[in-house]
Amino acid sequence: MTQAFRIENGGLINRDKKLSFKFNGKTYLGYEGDTLASALLANGVHLVGRSFKYHRPRGFFGAGVDEPYAVVQLFRNGETEPNIKATEQELFEGLEAKSVNCWPSVNFDIGAINNFLKIFLPAGFYYKTFMWPKSFWYRIYEPFIRKAAGLGVASTKHDKERYEHKYEYCDLLIAGSGPSGLAGAYAAAKNGAKVILAEDKPRFGGSLLTNDVNIGNQSGKDWAEGIIAELKTMPNVVVKNRSQIFGYYDHNMLVMSEKVSDHLPSTKKYNPNKRLWYIRAKEVLISSGSIERPIVFGNNDTPGVMLSSAAKEYLKVYGVLVGRTPLVFTNNDSGYETAIEFKKHGVDPVVLDSRKNPESEIIDEAKNLGINIKNSYVVVAAQGYKKVKSADIASITEDKKQLGKIENIKCDCICVSGFWTPTIHLASQSGNKTKFKEEIDAFVPGQSKQNEITLGAANGVFTLEETLKTSFKAGSELSKKITENDNEIAIPNVVEKKSSQHDKFWCVPLPKGKNYKRFLDFQNDVAVSDIEIALREGYRSIEHVKRYTTLGMATDQGKTSNLNGLQLVSEIENKVVPAVGHTTFRPPYTPVSIGAIVGREVGKHSKPTRKSPMHSWHEKNNAVFVDAGVWLRPRYYKRGNENLFEASKREAKNVRTNVGVCDVTTLGKIDVKGPDAAELLNRVYTNAWLKLPVGKARYGVMLREDGIVMDDGTTTRISENHYHMTTTTAQAANVLSHLEYYLQLVWPELNVNVVSTTEQWAGAAIAGPKSRDLLQKLFPNSDVSNEGLPFMGYMEGDLSGVKARIFRISFSGELAYEVNVESDFGNFMWEKIMGVGEEFNIQPYGTEALSTLRIEMGHVAGSELDGRTIPFDNALEGLVSKKKDFIGKRSLQRSAFIAEDRQRIVGVVPLDKQTSIPEGSHLVKDDKAPLPNPKLGHISASCWSVEYDNPFSLAILKDGKNMIGQKLFAMSPLKNKVIPVEIVSSHYVDPKGERVRS
Amino acid sequence: MLYINCPHCGMRSQNEFSYGGDASVIRPELNKEVSDQEWDNFVYNRKSLRGKHLELWQHISGCRQWIKVERDTATHEIFRTFKSDEEVA
Ligand SMILES: [Zn+2]
């Protein structure tokens, strides 16, 4: 079969380039410039899918973004994408597509039984039926619905395609390249404004491509091509096709999805598949045109029933006949334009016009061509199951209530025109208060909220002359405001045929004794009867009717159904349409690929990766890394076949017996400088800071104003007015903002500067009984003895010519030091430490060993400082000054915070000294108590104590102070564990803290 | 996405800023006796206005300055922006 419905000449396709493609496994031919829809229609294929609820056969209804039916699953270059409109997908060599929503096949569809059992599927069916019995949902209803319904399958594979984001700024953004968009863009561009013109289709020109008009002695199409060609030469203009502006957000930010590669068999090297543009526009011209409205009649969803404008577009743009015996059903002059095109191509259409005696230039032309026109006639019902075979037609009285005798006429398609609906989605999204325009039975934009203006058909203006006049003017005036240029544009002469008034008629009554389905929403299968039921059941708000019946809730967002639904509600309710109001338009205007929304932020690009200067050394030495915020930190260094548990135990043990080194570069570091630096610290930390001498470090805890611990760390006085603050890795950014907040807003009188120095310093913690010996060898010219560098002391040192900062601080609870050098020398320092440390049996240790060491010492970290604990809970009340005021102090007087049985940190040991307690386990008194078993506390951190060789955990426990020695149960329903435990002191190892001072 | 006029840097997109809440809240002075009610009002109680709202934002990916923004919480319209030490008249 070779494109039997393609006319010999004409259309804008490239007939020199034949393309082969597959649909539902069968191979067809089309031309370059086709859409999948036009190529299928050229081959006489009208059956493309099944409807959502009743699984009725579905064909093509439109020719673009408004298409409710022809949604396919696309296969391209090894990838698959669901929810693709065949009317938008451009044909390429080797394209493959499949019908969706039909199982097992489009021709034989099991779900179609729903159509015959439709008594079970009225409005609200899902709500009513699937509510009970509850147990049926997962076992029966959901699997059935999932299999029988749905609009395609998302791929579960990693997407090979690349997507990009782009940020752009312009003076004037124009949505749509029809006559209005072109005129506006041209006038603004001539005034030197920075213009972006976006067109969702591959071809520019909008209605000018299909309407028989003349502008400046050229055809509309030629005029459009000329304007585009000129705009493309202008440096201040960006012209984009295949680009849909789908969202209008706050402060004139619009988002556009550009299909860069979807029309090609595969994406070109270095090109993205799609590009998402975030455009901040000073002014926006919405020239998105209008969408033809259907007229509702019996079986109006049969394949072969389509919009008359779509039939015209298939013919004029693609050279495709949608039928050979077309029936045109119209309530306005647009249907005649389609009929005239048919006639010009040797096909005899029949026109049914619901109007009694309309007169206009267009109708005269149709009459002169000898087209068969029946006035006061309507289509009562389409006949045929998988394709229109004939139509039941009848005359209709002027009040549109009574049908005459029903006749049947043969036809293979029904082209329907119920007038035009302005596309107001973008205007509505911007916050524009839309208003109902009686003359066109539709909503148009009203009062602007943002800097946007809607012109042309989108504004309900359907004559070319006025559209061009207003759009040239708007382009000039909007740009003049910005560029202050005022170049006059001569408005070209326009020749167009005058139309007559349309008929306010949108739904054909049912003939007596017939119960045809008359569909409003074609994608979600919402019929007239469904709306009637919803209203009968008491739904009044249009938003509720929408949700109950799913009218307009499909992926086409009701582009062809909303207004007819409103008409029906207003008629039954006896209200005018504006009183019913329309539902809210929300972005996106048309479905957008998740890939495009995500852009490049996938996989390891989903967040930045920060590496310490010693990262490559860790890699070379078998480090297994763990994410710590955005940092990568060694979790442990694997030796042989060791697992995490074995390696971390070895590393921790080596710290306790010899010496270990840990990369602590990731700790947050903030330089605090200025004459009032001490005063700031004194207000920020809970303990006293005014008397800290130069060359000394101090541990501090800072609170939020609500009394909860925010962070902890050591801060060192480097010189008189210079402090080096450290924060936890996770809180570094928050602490800096916190300090800036108080310095800028609360205490601007303090003369202090704060700046992050996290990345300026590389840090190594050297811990273990042999750490001093090692340090002495590293810094042979410095006195690092217990007297020369006591606990919490600080000095500068010379590390083989590199300036180093040496802090005697300890997180591990051992004798320990931290050495900092400038980041560039980080690796130098590390290798030096490892080299010199060899004779002391040094081993690097990772975060897992670090955790073990701090847990058995009872040192708190993020798992205890979890945003729910106060100093007392962490046994840090000794650091809370009673004398001075500080951030959050007043909150510590809250009754809950001073309660007798306040929660507090404790140690937990399993009675069997064997079973590790899962973190997050709850501590309960009675493991057999009925649920909900009262929780006394939770396990915050667990480790294997290398000191005692048994499991040890920390917990935050109610009345923890008085619970030492008690026996409780740790319960973890997640891990299905119940472990008898004993509560001990949180300071499990070296409770007096002698080692750090040794 | 909002478009915020940083008084130090000019027009910048919202994703460069972080929100800091009601700018009219004043921290009680240090070392001053504060009643439970006053402290509650400072720490917890907010008006959650619909309409014109003076609020704090920090230009976190820019100049790092805390600024005051007069914004309509219903329409997102931004009327004026101020430096942290500027008088709001
Ligand atoms: Zn700024």
At A735-782, the pLDDT tens digits run 999 999 999 999 999 999 999 999 999 999 999 999 999 999 999 999
**pLDDT of amino acid A104:** 53
At B25-59, the pLDDT tens digits run 999 999 999 999 999 999 999 999 999 999 999 99
Tell me if B43 and A748 make a contact (CB, 8 A cut-off): no
Is residue A53 within 8 Å of A549, Cβ to Cβ? no
Contacts of A839 (CB under 8 A, 6+ apart): none
Question: Region A480-497: what's the mean pLDDT?
Answer: 94
Q: How remote is the CA of residue B56 from the centroid of ligand 1, in Å?
A: 13
A108: nearest Cα among A26, A47, A36? A47
* Strand intervals (E) in A216-325: 218-219, 237-240, 243-249, 253-259, 274-286, 290-292, 305-307
Residues A474 and A522 in one domain: no
Indicate whether A416 pLDDT > 80. Answer: yes
**pLDDT of amino acid A139:** 64
Indicate whether A4 pLDDT > 80. Answer: yes
Tell me if A705 and B85 make a contact (CB, 8 A cut-off): no
**pLDDT of amino acid A624:** 98
Question: Region A218-233: what's the mean pLDDT?
Answer: 98
**Run of H or E residues at A230:** helix A220-233
Indicate whether A852 pLDDT > 60. Answer: yes
- CA–CA distance, A473 with A468 (Å, rounded to integer): 8
Q: How far is CA A143 from the centre of its chain?
A: 27
A477: nearest Cα among A765, A226, A191? A191
Indicate whether A714 pLDDT > 70. Answer: yes
Nearest 5 degrees, angle CA A585-CA A588-CA A592?
A: 160
Which of A145-159, A253-267, A285-299, A602-616 is least confident? A145-159
B22 phi, psi to nearest 5 deg = -60, 125
**pLDDT of amino acid A15:** 96
Report the CATH number at residue A945.
2.40.30.110
At A810-846, the pLDDT tens digits run 999 999 999 999 999 999 999 999 999 999 999 999 9
Question: Looking at the partner chain, which of A167, A683, A705 has a beta carbon nearest the beta carbon of B30?
Answer: A683
Domain range holding A303?
A: 294-418
Nearest 5 degrees, angle CA A466-CA A468-CA A473?
A: 100
Give the residue with greater pLDDT, A110 vs A414: A414
Question: Which two three-digit tokens encode residue A330?
Answer: 């119209």
Residues A447 and A404 in one domain: no
Give the residue with greater pLDDT, A660 vs A126: A660
At A579-637, the pLDDT tens digits run 888 777 889 999 999 999 999 999 888 889 999 999 999 999 999 999 998 899 999 99
Residues A318 and A332 in one domain: yes
Tell me if A744 and B66 make a contact (CB, 8 A cut-off): yes
Q: How far is CA A77 from the centre of its chain?
A: 25
A553 phi, psi to nearest 5 deg = -100, 5
**pLDDT of amino acid A561:** 86
Which of the four pLDDT bands, split at 50, 70 and 90, describes residue A119? very low
Is residue A34 within 8 Å of A559, Cβ to Cβ? no
| Residue in this structure with the two tokens 């609870």, named with its chain if needed | A813
**pLDDT of amino acid A131:** 56
A583 phi, psi to nearest 5 deg = -75, 165
Tell me if A741 and B20 make a contact (CB, 8 A cut-off): yes
Looking at A366, A400, A418, which one is the last position of a domain?
A: A418
Q: Identify whether A594 is part of a domain.
A: no
Q: Identify whether A150 is part of a domain.
A: no
Question: Region A165-180: what's the mean pLDDT?
Answer: 98
At A48-60, the pLDDT tens digits run 988 777 778 889 9
Residue A373, classed as helix, strand or coil, is strand
Residue A728, classed as helix, strand or coil, is coil
Handedness of CA A243, A247, A251, A253 (dihedral sign): negative
Q: Identify whether A597 is part of a domain.
A: no
Question: Which two three-digit tokens encode residue A367?
Answer: 């009459």
A889 phi, psi to nearest 5 deg = -60, -45
A436: nearest Cα among A530, A543, A575? A575
Q: Identify whether A904 is part of a domain.
A: yes
Question: Region A447-472: what's the mean pLDDT?
Answer: 96
Q: What is the DSSP letter of A752?
A: -
A79: nearest Cα among A598, A601, A555, A595? A595
| Residue in this structure with the two tokens 């579960």, named with its chain if needed | A156
Q: Looking at this protein, which amino acid is placed at residue A157?
A: K
Q: Number of Cβ pairs closer than 8 Å across A and B? A: 53
At A493-524, the pLDDT tens digits run 999 999 999 999 999 999 999 999 999 988 88
Question: Region A162-175: what's the mean pLDDT?
Answer: 97
Residue A145, classed as helix, strand or coil, is helix
- CA–CA distance, A88 with A243 (Å, rounded to integer): 12
Q: How remote is the CA of residue A758 from the centroid of ligand 1, in Å?
A: 22
Residues A222 and A334 in one domain: no
Distance to chain B for A470, nearest Cα, Å? 28
Q: What is the DSSP letter of A613?
A: T
Distance to chain A for B44, nearest Cα, Å? 8
Question: Region A915-929: what's the mean pLDDT?
Answer: 97
Looking at A556, A573, A590, which one is the last position of a domain?
A: A573
Tell me if A741 and B78 make a contact (CB, 8 A cut-off): no
Q: Identify whether A926 is part of a domain.
A: yes
Q: How remote is the CA of residue A863 from the centroid of ligand 1, in Å?
A: 35
**pLDDT of amino acid A142:** 63
Residues A437 and A518 in one domain: no
pTM of the model: 0.89
Is residue A29 within 8 Å of A19, Cβ to Cβ? yes
For residue A57, say if its preceding peptide bond is cis, omega within 30 degrees of 0.
Answer: no
Q: Which residues of B touch A278 (CB under 8 A)?
A: 1
Q: How remote is the CA of residue A50 from the centroid of ligand 1, in Å?
A: 55
Residues A106 and A61 in one domain: yes
A437: nearest Cα among A453, A424, A425? A424
Residue B71, classed as helix, strand or coil, is strand
CATH of B3-26+43-83 among 3.40.50.360, 3.40.80.10, 3.30.2270.10, 3.30.70.100: 3.30.2270.10
Contacts of A370 (CB under 8 A, 6+ apart): A343
Percent over 90 (pLDDT), chain A = 83
Is residue A33 within 8 Å of A92, Cβ to Cβ? no
Contacts of A748 (CB under 8 A, 6+ apart): B84, B85
Scanning A277-306 for CB atoms below 8 A from B yields 278, 280
